[in-house]
Amino acid sequence: MTVKIALYGKGGIGKSTIASNVAAATSKNGYTATIIGCDPKGDSTTSLMGGERIPSVLSYLKKGETIEEEDVVHRGFNGVNCVEVGGPEPGIGCAGRGIIVALDKLSKKSNVVEESDLVIFDVPGDIVCGGLAMPVRKDYVDMAYIVTSGEYLPMYAANNICRGLNVLDGELGGVICNSRLQNEKQEDEIVKEFASQLNAKYIAYVPKRDKVQEYERQGKTIVEADSKHEVAQVYQKISKEIMKTNKPETPTPLTDKELRQLTNNTIKQKQN
């Protein structure tokens, strides 16, 4: 059985880092993992490919060239299958539509999705754009996972994503906190409470450590570079949670007032 998930969250929240590290951790656990980068920048897979960008599916299609599996499915760290969908020129076209065209073409040329134990779609931005909701809308994925920090705006985006999932009848596997605040315990508590009020499973807290960025600059995930590091161990935990295929939940988005109360009350409680 192939587990197919999509990562959603506010732009810049660290979805690609989490996607590539979870794919690496899953491969280390003996599973076949595939990551499909849906970001027009085409950089979802670079830390699995030694820092090198791979040609995207759409780059071939724009030139009117036919593609074969070996053109667009590249083997990264520990055999992780790496695919970049690509995107339109800046200011022209729709990234979401491009994703669907590319995925349709890929499915006709490769069985990499069906033959993998885990497929991760790294989706840019958040789901409020109808085009970028396509992996869920077209049933390419079984469930979504949301990445957020304890800051208000990423949580606001995460809450909006839950509204989008409800419209699409999409299901939520859980919430991952990618740390951005200095007070780690406080941020952990805020996002844990947020997940609880969403009726969602809290998957893990990923601490912010300079080593992660250092290894990314070297073109590596921290799972590859230092598998015993505390952050690498967190990615192992996330991988195992995802592969358990827990029953997904239908999220219950908060009102804007409830979201502000949650963040303010949690901070006040920790200050007292």
User: Catalytic residue numbers?
Assistant: 10, 15, 41, 126
Beta bridge partners of 87: none
d(CA 69, CA 185): 45
**How many residues appear in the chain?**
272
- Using DSSP bridges, classify how beta strands 81-84 and 118-122 pair: parallel, antiparallel or unpaired: unpaired
Q: Which amino acid is at 154?
A: P
d(CA 16, CA 241): 18
Beta bridge partners of 119: 4, 34
Contacts of 182 (CB under 8 A, 6+ apart): none
Identify whether the C-beta of residue 50 lies closer than 8 Å to the C-beta of residue 225.
no
CA 141, 144, 150 angle in degrees (round to 5)? 160
